[in-house]
Amino acid sequence: MKNIYGFTLEELENYFVEIGSKKFHGKQLFSWLYEKRIESLDSVTDIKKEVLEILRNNLSLDRLKIVDVQKDVDVNKYLFELSDGEHIEAVLMRHDYGNSICVSSQVGCNMGCKFCESGRRKKVRNLETYEMVLQILMIEKELGERISHVVVMGIGEPFDNYDNLVKFFKIINDPKGLAIGARHITVSTCGIVPKILEFSELDLQINLAISLHAPNNEIRNKIMPINKAYPLEVLIPALKTYLDRTNRRVTFEYILLSGINDREEDALELAKLAKGINCYINLIPYNETNNIDFKRSSTIQIMKFYDILKKNNVNVTIRREFGSKISAACGQLRSKKEEV
Ligand code: SAH
């Protein structure tokens, strides 16, 4: 049985046509699901009983299970159990501009970044579109508040699950769906170049973030295996194409790892790399995990790195930290639960 939360509006309209009913029911049902937030088809009043019966027999409205919630100042972390018993995480962060949620896109991840807990675990499977949509719907319900911003930066490599990801964007961005503005949605990738190019042709104003984490191939190869497939001389031109096509800005994420990529010469090389690209750099203090040996750079080193970028006229910020006390870093709650 297909889950109804995986249908875009267009797919739902086509579905009604396929079962010999009316296309406009698609819009009606979409609005029941996302504006009125029904959880059972019994609440639908403007579609004939016989048609609803066909839906009941063929589509499910099943939700995910929330099996753990951890709360800290301005952050809630949710552990979900999927219908096959797998686990994923989502994090809710309260900002002054609204509630933002960080969603997972896969169970595990195959990119193998050396510093990342999710990469250590390998990919089990892609998330279905409905499993991404429901992370938002269920957290909104639990909170009793709306979510205004979405970042796809949880477990998984979103561009390794591209088709389901794009459907997810269509559903949450649809004015009749969750109506989250594209400029309030960000997707983060380790740099899968063919998908960056495909994404640049997508007619949605969604923000793109790149996990850069190194100013040159030598360092990047050591910590991010994807760099061997798409080294910087391939990645950077692809980003320029993206910027030309979309007139947007790109965000570079840069985790500071002590002694690996946080030296002054790294900052200078990074400033050079950023020059001429419409970008800003988000410096991320590393969240240490029990299973991996990398160390977080000291606060002094982080400030030094930041200053060098600033002095070289790079747009740079240091990421505000949420929930390091509650294992909010990528994949840690899932690992604790499963004890691996
Ligand atoms: N696969 C995608 C999105 C998921 S990871 C990507 O690579 O962008 C989201 C971000 O968290 C990435 O920038 C990732 O490198 C970073 N990250 C992973 N482990 C981390 C940790 N322990 N501390 C801080 N950031 C981490």
Residues with CB under 6 A from ligand 1: 111, 113, 115-116, 153, 157, 188-190, 211, 253, 255, 284, 286-287, 289, 329-330
What DSSP element (H or E) covers 199?
helix 193-200
pLDDT tens-digit readout, 301-320: 999 999 999 999 999 999 87
State yes or no: pLDDT of 330 exceeds 60: no
C-alpha dist (Å) from residue 241 to 196, 249, 282, 310? 9, 12, 21, 26
For the CA of 154, the nearest atom of ligand 1: 4
pLDDT for res 89: 95
Q: Is 113 part of the annotated catalytic residue set?
A: no
Q: Is 145 part of the annotated catalytic residue set?
A: no
For the CA of 331, the nearest atom of ligand 1: 19
pLDDT for res 97: 93
pLDDT for res 172: 98
Mutate to test the pocket of ligand 1, among 155, 188, 189, 199 (most ligand atoms within 8 A of CB): 188
What DSSP element (H or E) covers 24?
none
pLDDT tens-digit readout, 82-136: 999 999 999 999 999 999 999 999 999 999 999 998 777 799 999 999 999 999 9
- Ligand 1 midpoint to CA 196 (Å): 17
Cβ neighbours of residue 276 closer than 8 Å, sequence gap 6 or more: none
* Whole-angstrom distance, CA of residue 16 vs CA of residue 33: 15
DSSP single-letter state for residue 331: T
State yes or no: pLDDT of 324 exceeds 90: no
State yes or no: pLDDT of 197 exceeds 80: yes
Question: Residue 326 — pLDDT band, cuts 50, 70, 90?
Answer: low
pLDDT tens-digit readout, 247-305: 999 999 999 999 999 999 999 999 999 998 999 999 999 988 888 889 999 999 999 99
C-alpha dist (Å) from residue 223 to 40, 50, 157, 216, 328? 47, 57, 16, 11, 21
pLDDT for res 328: 53
Q: Classify 86 as helix, strand or coil.
A: coil
pLDDT for res 12: 98
What secondary structure does DSSP assign to 288-313, as a single string?
--TT----BPPHHHHHHHHHHHHHTT
Question: Residue 147 — pLDDT band, cuts 50, 70, 90?
Answer: very high
Identify the residue with better confidence: 328 or 85: 85
- Ligand 1 midpoint to CA 101 (Å): 15
